Amino acid sequence: MQTFIPKPISASMKVSVPRLTQSSIQKIQQMVPTVQEPIFVYKDVDRIKNIIEETIKNYNLSTEYAVILAAEELMVNVLKYAENGLISLYISDNLLYMIVKDRGPGVHSSILMEAIQSPSFSSPHTLGHGLHRVFVASEKFAFYSDKEVTVFTAVFSMTNGCGNG
């Protein structure tokens, strides 16, 4: 039912990154969020990163740095391209789901796919390296985008380490 790709992959390998369906997003959002914060200005990025750090240090998470990196990259993209958005973290079955949603103009899936797959990709919209970093840092990654909403979901395991907190 979940449409994610397995990790690890070679950074030079072209892969199919699944698009999220509305039903997949709704299934995750039926859980109670552990963290849910609006993103309006750049000062929110550091504030939200601190909230996430405090929250995840209580969990068995070997990839704490990856979660913070993904959150920062996705929040900065929201501010660059959509002006505001929402970041939510959901924890269930030893997984941490990070959903970042905005109501910007949307991005064509072919541009998102290239940005996700290519570490050196840069478009006229300067998507840069951020989406590729999130893709590599997360265990599973997927997106949904149309003219009304763009949603990124990154998934991290909480079973492979002793945490840093």
Q: What is the pLDDT of residues 106-133, one digit of tens each?
A: 888 888 887 787 766 555 555 567 888 8
DSSP 8-state symbol, 32: P
Tokens of 64: 């704490």
What CATH superfamily classification does 22-157 receive?
A: Histidine kinase-like ATPase, C-terminal domain (3.30.565.10)
Nearest-Å Rg of the Cα atoms of the chain is 15
DSSP three-state, residue 110: helix
Amino acid letter at 13?
M
What per-residue confidence (pLDDT) applies to 121? 59
Average pLDDT over the chain, rounded to an integer: 79
CA distances from 31 to 18, 35, 97 (A): 22, 11, 10
Q: What is the DSSP string of 66-103?
A: HHHHHHHHHHHHHHHHTS-EEEEEEEETTEEEEEEEE-
Confidence of residue 162 (pLDDT cuts 50, 70, 90): very low
CA distances from 76 to 46, 71, 134, 136 (A): 10, 9, 12, 17
Tokens of 10: 């070679």
Does the pLDDT value for residue 96 go beyond 50?
Answer: yes
100: closest CA among 48, 161, 162?
48
